[in-house]
Amino acid sequence: MSIAHYESVVIINASLEDAQVEQTIANIQESITTNGGEITDTENWGRKRLAYNINKAKTGYYLITRFTAPTEAIKKFERALRLDENVIRYMTIVLSKKDLEHLEKIKKSEEQKAQATVKEEEITKTDD
């Protein structure tokens, strides 16, 4: 049983209320963990305009989830997405070592920017 790193982009029906969207996200995350996966990162992009209409919808709620899971779990996970009527589209890809390194670089640069912003705020507070 080999374990790989995956990234899944899910577009949820944006016409749902926030509570329904949150419940759908919880269901997606539960589907990953019950099939032996472990979520490493989640990005909620929120409601965005679609490039083209999907099932007559013009907007969708974008969720990006990165996780590790056994390869057998992906079929079960994607089947759960296919059966969920709140999910408009989804795509799951395997992340290569190069992809993981790139994501780590992005995360480090974001952390450095956040630290620089905190330091600048501390400096301006001491100057006042």
- Rounded to two decimals, the pTM is 0.77
Q: Which domain holds residue 126?
A: 97-128
Measure the N-to-C terminal CA separation of the chain; round to a whole number of Å.
Answer: 60
Clarify whether residues 115 and 85 are in a common domain.
no
Tell me: do 52 and 87 sit in the same domain. yes
Same domain, 72 and 86: yes
The mean pLDDT of 110-125, rounded to a whole number, is 78
Return all residues near 3 (Cβ < 8 A) that are at least 6 apart.
68, 69, 70, 71
The per-residue pLDDT of the chain, averaged, comes to 87
Are residues 10 and 46 located together in one domain of the fold? yes
Q: Which residues contact 119 (CB under 8 A, 6 or more apart)?
A: none
Quote helix, strand, coil % in the chain, to nearest 5.
45, 40, 15
Residues 54 and 83 in one domain: yes
* Model confidence band, residue 110 (pLDDT cutoffs 50, 70, 90): confident
Per-residue pLDDT tens over the stretch 24-34: 999 999 999 99
Residue 42's beta-bridge partner residues? 65
Backbone angles phi, psi at 37, to 5 degrees: -90, 165
Neighbours of 27 (CB within 10 A): 14
Structure confidence at residue 23 (pLDDT) = 92
C-alpha span between 61 and 96 (Å, rounded) = 26
